[in-house]
Amino acid sequence: MNYKCKLIIQYACLTVLSIVAYQALKIPDLQIHRIEFVLNAIITTTTTISGFILTSLSILLGLNSHPIVEKIKKKQLMGELVWRYAESFLIGLIIIIGCILLGATLEEDTAILFVSEKWIKGGVCVLMWYLAGLFFLCKYLLGILKYTPSNDVAVDNTPGEPRGNYRI
């Protein structure tokens, strides 16, 4: 099964789960105290995860002529790799922009936010998509490790002396 079929099945399942979660959750309207702290925590966490994603991407780009990348290209999995990175990065940006917009619409002295049930359910669905995307990206990156060559290096354990004039 190629990666496009896997993606379609994965997103169909995620969509169904999101709809079921949206309909099944019975959440009353909430009051969130210290909303600035919550928004800052969400933005910081998402930014950190996106930074790790971009760092791993730059590492893979640096390995362009490495046998690992050659095997990925030979198995025609580069499209899936690009999609996994783009998905996690874009959903992270959506979360960050949503938090910034929510924070920008608050009045300066507002420390309590009244959140409707629809916003909470929508946030849970986006968070579920983000976490599932991160899970699949991590699974994909860990799957790449099986293509790494082994580093069996012989080690000489015989004691020796340094050459030259050294003071003790």
Model-level pTM?
0.68
Q: What local confidence, expressed as pLDDT, does residue 153 receive?
A: 65
Cα 155 from Cα 73, distance rounded (Å): 34
Element (H, E) at 32: strand 30-33
Cα 46 from Cα 88, distance rounded (Å): 10
List, in sequence order, every residue forming a beta bridge with 30; answer none if it has no partner. Answer: 115
Mean pLDDT in residue range 107-116: 66
112-154 confidence digits (pLDDT tens): 666 666 777 777 778 888 888 888 888 888 877 777 666 666 6
Higher pLDDT, 107 or 41: 41
Whose CA is closest to 46, among 83, 99, 86? Answer: 99
Specify the length of the chain in residues.
168
Burial zone of 92 (CB within 10 Å; 0-12 exposed, 13-18 middle, 19+ buried): buried
47-99 confidence digits (pLDDT tens): 898 888 888 878 777 777 777 777 777 777 777 778 888 888 888 888 888 88
Q: What local confidence, expressed as pLDDT, does residue 27 receive?
A: 67
**Dihedral (Cα; 25, 84, 94, 20), 10-degree rounding:** -10
